[in-house]
């Protein structure tokens, strides 16, 4: 079985998850390639049994480079199974009432091809973010009317990365 994992990642959480998926598939002796979507042009082969696409979610959306890949390159891939993964700090709001990933609502044709849609939990370290992201996040937390303790908690480094969950997921795809 040939697998291709394509991920986008700004701060490393989605890259880590992609690597854990590969690691678990490697144990089962699958043939696995793992690339950043930005390096899609370096890929020689286009035909796979399973394609896994993963992007972090920022304000409910995937990254620009992930959407560019969907627009410009996705159609070059041939596969039997498509798996799409969002990486976020919570799962529920990422799905609509039909359990479809919201961040693909403008890409319904692609979303319909995905037999697996999942959200895996990531990591958020405020002090590592660029100024624009810090300001966005700060404004978002302010709008939530948190008390001082909750606010401080949100700004402290938080990781929900869980290798066991990622390995369990990888076993099923």
Distance of closest approach, residue 1 Cβ to ligand FMN, in angstroms? 26
The contacts of residue 143 (CB under 8 Å, 6+ apart) are none
- Compare residues 115 and 159 and give the one whose CB is closer to ligand FMN: 159
Q: Residue 95: left if φ>0, alpha if ψ -120 to 50, beta else—which one?
A: beta
Residues 6+ apart with CB under 8 A from 9: 15, 16, 18, 36, 56, 63, 87
Helix or strand (DSSP H, E) at 18:
helix 13-27
Q: Print the binding letters for residues 52-91 with ligand FMN: x by CB under 6 A, - otherwise.
A: ----xxxxx--------------------------xxxx-
Q: Is residue 130 close enough to count as binding ligand FMN by CB under 6 A?
A: no
Q: Which is nearer to ligand FMN, 47 or 156 (CB)?
A: 156
Report the nearest approach of ligand FMN to the CB of residue 101 (Å). 12
Tell me the residue nearest to ligand FMN as measured from the CB.
122
State the pairing for strand pair 114-121/47-56.
unpaired
Residue of 50, 124, 170, 173 that binds ligand FMN (CB under 6 A): 124
φ/ψ bin of 65: left (φ > 0), alpha (ψ from -120 to 50), beta (otherwise): alpha
CA distance 82 to 4: 10
For residues 72 and 78, what is the distance between their CA atoms, to the nearest angstrom?
15
- Of the two residues 50 and 87, which places its CB atom closer to ligand FMN in the complex? 87
Restricting to residues 88-107, name those near ligand FMN by CB under 6 A. Answer: 88-90
Check residue 11 for interaction with ligand FMN (CB under 6 A). yes
Binding residues for ligand FMN, per CB under 6 A? 9-14, 56-60, 87-90, 122-124, 129, 133, 136-137
């Amino acid at each position: 079985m040939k697998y291709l994992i394509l991920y986008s990642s700004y701060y490393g959480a989605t890259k880590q998850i992609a690597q854990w998926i590969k690691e678990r598939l490697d144990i089962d002796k699958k043939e696995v390639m793992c690339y950043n979507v930005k390096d899609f042009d370096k890929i020689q082969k286009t035909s796979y049994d399973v394609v896994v696409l993963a992007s972090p979610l920022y304000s409910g959306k995937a990254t620009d480079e992930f959407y560019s890949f969907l627009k410009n390159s996705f159609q070059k891939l041939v596969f039997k199974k498509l798996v799409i993964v969002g990486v976020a700090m919570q799962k529920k709001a990422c799905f609509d009432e039909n359990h479809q990933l919201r961040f693909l609502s403008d890409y319904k044709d692609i979303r319909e091809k995905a037999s697996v849609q999942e959200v895996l939990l990531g990591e958020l370290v405020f002090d590592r973010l660029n100024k624009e992201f810090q300001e966005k996040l700060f404004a978002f937390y302010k709008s939530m009317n948190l008390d001082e303790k909750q606010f401080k908690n949100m700004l402290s480094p938080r990781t929900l990365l869980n290798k066991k969950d990622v390995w369990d997921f990888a076993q099923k795809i």
